[in-house]
Structure 1
Amino acid sequence: MPRPIWSGMISFGLVNVPVRLYNATKKKTVRFNQLRKGDGCRIRLKKVCSSDEKDVQQGDIARGYEVSPDRYVVVTDEDMEALAPKASRLIEIGTFVKLEQIDPIYYEQTYYLMPDKGAAKAYTLLLSAMNDTGKVGVARFVLRNKEYLAALRPYQNILSLSVMLFSDEIVSVGEFEEVPEQIELNPKEVNMAKQLVDTLTMEFEPEQYKNEYYYQILDMIEKKAEGEVIESQPAATNNGKVLDLMSALEASMKAIKESNSKTKKKSKLKKEA
């Protein structure tokens, strides 16, 4: 049973909705420990002073910000606490906007918001209003002594909260020298590219996409634990052919048509069987 990581209230206008915040995602990754190759002994990492090579205990460690080479400003816990945002239990919606106005590049982490005791009616009212208007709420809230910008939006039949990056955390495209210049395109190539896009277009089904590398690692670990010898996979090779853009588009369309034809034949054989 998931446990809430925060509880407070959604505030919009003079309406407060008590809610609980839950993690909506769980990243799948395989964590490894560092071992000594000879005997498998686990490695412990020590904190050592760079000047005298002596071990440093946690209580003797200060926080420092480098302002120039080897020159630091020491920042204490008291300094940080003085600047910490005022503790609050409010997710304060400042404005509502259309969902399409927020580019996905701003989204960072998503949570679920569930109604707290006695808040079902107010929660459902907000959810219904957002669904009917197609709007999302842009809000600020404090979690673990840090203030966040967030978007509240309906997800299925509940409210979700997506933590957002601030605008100055987004790298401007103008900073890159590689941004393509305006190039005059061949209309035939444009039409062929559109056909390729249309051919590959389908409904998004997230269940079709698996973290294959994660499961391959787990499978490999299981096999090694059972004593199996793992053989290296051959590296992918390039056939050496360099196709021009139009040839590549035409070859792609041909491959898709052949694949679709084979799929239809298999489906027909299954039905006849």
Structure 2
Amino acid sequence: MSPRANWKGSLKIAELTCPVALYSATSTSDRIAFHTINRLTGHRVRRNFVDSETGEPVESGDQVKGYEVGKNEYVVLEPEEIAQATPKSDKTLAIETFVDCGEIDAVYFDKPYYLSPSQSDANELFVLIREGMRKNKVAALAKTVLFRRARTVLISAYGDGLLATTLNFDYEVRS
């Protein structure tokens, strides 16, 4: 069974647009997962959300997100407010610039994806882009929205395809 694309959209360089798909280059499915079990009954334990002061269970409809601004002080965000703040995706990997291969410090690398053409009529353009990058020993920096999050992506020639690696922002990297 062939892998399913995690994302489909377009790779855009100036006026050129190539339909592409992203596939996870790594997998966590083979990791061992443990469940919490009741030692006495052997049944799985379910996690309940309870009010930290009263100890009473809180139904999912009464739960909202909150950002702590002080000790026990929160700014409450309703689901609609969070949805409004979520960046909208135009399904485009918009290349902003090219950099020399190796110029980006590996500490910024987050998650690698294989990038390939999503339509057979895009193969020729895709190969042209890949081989141009390989010949000039450059990688591309692109902006996009992936999985409801604005991301910068490093795109480089990799074997018969391209590797698209999401990058961490400066504030995410510890010094």
Q: TM-score, normalised by structure 1?
A: 0.61
Higher helix share: 1
| Corresponding residue of 1:146 | 149
Aligned to 1:35: 37
Rounded to whole Å, the distance in 1 between the matches of 2:20 and 2:107 is 27
Report if the CA contact (8 A) 2:89-2:144 is conserved. Answer: no
- SS, match of residue 101 in structure 1: coil
Give a deviation string over 1:208-253, Cα, whole Å, max 9, x none.
xxxxxxxxxxxxxxxxxxxxxxxxxxxxxxxxxxxxxxxxxxxxxx
Select the structure of larger CA radius of gyration.
Answer: 1
Kindly provide the CA deviation profile for residues 102-131 of structure 1, in whole angstroms up to 9, marking residues without a partner as x.
Answer: 111010100011102121111011011011
Where does the alignment leave 5 or more consecutive residues of structure 2 unmatched? Answer: none
Structure 2: how far apart are the matches of 1:53 and 1:85?
36
Structure 1, unaligned runs of 5 or more: 173-273
Match of 2:173 in 1: 170
CA RMSD of aligned residues (A): 1.2
**Within 5 A, what are the aligned runs for 1:111-150?**
111-117=113-119, 118-150=121-153
Equivalent positions of 1:1-273 (< 5 A) are 1-27=2-28, 28-117=30-119, 118-172=121-175
Identity of aligned residues (%): 30
Amino acid at match of 2:148: N
Greater relative contact order: 1 or 2 (C-alpha under 8 angstroms, separation 6 or more)?
A: 2
Letter aligned with residue 12 of structure 2: S
- One-letter amino acid matched to 1:140: K
Aligned residues: 172
Is the partner of 2:34 in helix, strand or coil? coil
Q: What SS class does the counterpart of residue 11 from structure 1 fall into?
A: strand
Runs of 4+ in 1 over 4 A off after TM superposition: none
* TM-score (normalised: structure 2): 0.93
1:166 is displaced (CA, Å) by 1.4
List per-residue Cα deviations over 1:62-120 (Å, max 9, x = no partner).
11111111111101122222222222110011000011211110101000111021211
